[in-house]
Amino acid sequence: MTDIKPLLKRLYEINKEIMLYAGIYNLLDWDRAVLMPKMGSLHRADQLSLMMTSIHERMTSKELNDIIQTLSKKENFDKLTELQKALVKRHEWKLSRLNKIPKEHVEEFSKLAGIATMKWEEAKDKNDFAMFLPYLEKIVAMKKKEASYIDPERHPYDVLLEDYERGMTIEKLDKVFAELKKEIMIILNKVKSSKHYNNEKTLDGLKFSEQEQKQTCMEIASMILGTDERFLIARSVHPFMTTISPDDFRITTSFRSEPFFSFSSTAHESGHALYESQYPKELAGTILFDAPSLGLHESQSRIWENQVCRSMQFWKYYYKKYQKRFDALKNISLKDFFKMINVVKPSLIRIEADELTYCMHIIIRFEIEKQMIEGTINIKDLPKIWNSKYKQYLGIEPKSDALGVLQDVHWSQGSIGYFPTYALGTMYSAMIFNQMLKDNPKLESEIAKGDFIYMRSWLKEHIHKYGASMATAEIIKKAIGRELEHKDLIDYFRKKYYMIYKL
């Protein structure tokens, strides 16, 4: 009979080591984006590669494989607690992928991604896709090879999707995105037919102090996160959030000429931080201290960015303070400000997109990267393909690579299959918020008082407390009673934008 106690002890020790390496990797990456001088890029690529290789070695070590194999045997598995079973199952799934990828591939790819990210930044700055092209071609080739290592029988894009949204497939995405695209286009065309369309006032051209923007960013983060000293907000080119440890969460934001971008970006990243800060303490130091998918993670940021911070209820509470801070707003009413931050205007930049058309940006990227992996398009033709899709779906066309195909960092990092999670998270967020409203009819009046206690506790109880111990589909079904669908999001869009545009 196997004594499982020493095996479990060792399993937790290895998990802690893996998570420590992951925290070091995240800290190095955060520093790269926030503080590191440009000349440090090449050495930082080597440092990140070393960390990633070390994580891969520990995740695929013979010792860990033997432990998981032994604990997976029925006579041993039945003795485990539910949390221990979840830990073993998640390791089984990860090992079923990682064991098939050679260490040399991991090392080569992480170095390539580090250099490619630097080249992407340079190409974007110089507005020259050709500078980035050879690196993107290598990235795509290596991701296809990675998919073939893991499962040569499946569609390579389905294999890559698993890293970000386990259980998701091209077939499912094609179906839900086709429905979503159709419904958004109907609403968008109706909005465009309104006599109020293109006559809206915007915040463009008004001047807002960056120092004042920083203060409002700190305030929204505090409203969402509560009184918690585990958070730090810094500035980066592209807003993001990363976890260094269970007591160290880093948020970054970015500033534009108008203040709502930095405000909503901070709300978005604070939603990510709240999620990870509310994982149960018993998951700390294990690979369950994570979200089961990036789609679910994204829902936790989108719900604060959109359902809360773009709502009339929130601004009834916060607008007077916000208005007082910025002189440019002193003659703008709450009603007009609400319309200004919810103007529908198809734009070129994903992270600056209006709420209604945001998912169209994601669908465009999904369609392109799926074709890149299938090999049905030539990567050198990406600028032309990108521009054509923007013209077809949004009626606008980029005039430069920087405003088009070079605007996102994801492909330079090898994150192919990541983009769909943004739209999935947006759909999940609408479903979750609807359920919160059903469970607490007073929720909107609480938001109008700046009271987010219920929201934080509901999210913790129904979403956050599971970490990665359950699959996304299970968590959503348990919390809401339904599986993923686009209806809630479309209903939310109709109610909001038909009111704003008097349709």
Query: What is the value of pTM for the model shown?
Result: 0.93
- Tokens at residue 443, please? 């929720």
Q: Is 122 a catalytic residue?
A: no
- Tokens at residue 298, please? 């994204």
Q: What is the pLDDT of residues 6-41, one digit of tens each?
A: 999 999 999 999 999 999 999 999 999 999 998 888
Residue 282 pLDDT: 96
Sign of CA dihedral 393, 399, 402, 406: positive
CATH class of 170-500: mainly alpha
Query: How many Å apart are CA 263 and CA 217, to the nearest integer?
Result: 5
Question: Distance of CA 339 to CAs 32, 187, 335, 497, Å?
Answer: 37, 17, 6, 10
CATH 1.10.1370.30 maps onto the chain at 170-500
Question: Distance of CA 80 to CAs 93, 469, 478, Å?
Answer: 18, 14, 23
Residue 257 pLDDT: 83
Query: How many Å apart are CA 135 and CA 137, to the nearest integer?
Result: 5
Query: How many Å apart are CA 68 and CA 85, to the nearest integer?
Result: 10
Query: Residue 396 carries which side chain, given as an amino acid letter?
Result: I
Question: Distance of CA 388 to CAs 127, 384, 395, 398, 403, Å?
Answer: 18, 6, 10, 9, 14
Identified catalytic residue from 269, 276, 305, 369? 269
Q: What is the pLDDT of residues 225-252, one digit of tens each?
A: 998 889 999 998 889 999 999 999 999 9
Query: How many Å apart are CA 34 and CA 235, to the nearest integer?
Result: 6
Other CB atoms within 10 A of residue 2 CB: 12
Other CB atoms within 10 A of residue 9 CB: 10
Mean pLDDT, 10 residues at a time, the chain of 503 residues: 92 97 95 90 88 92 97 96 97 95 91 91 95 98 97 97 95 97 96 92 85 93 91 90 96 89 95 97 97 98 97 97 92 95 94 94 98 96 97 95 95 96 98 98 97 97 98 97 96 97 94
Please provide residue 245's backbone torsions phi and psi, each rounded to the nearest 5 degrees.
-160, 175
Among residues 411, 370, 421, 485, the alpha carbon closest in space to that of 117 is found at: 411
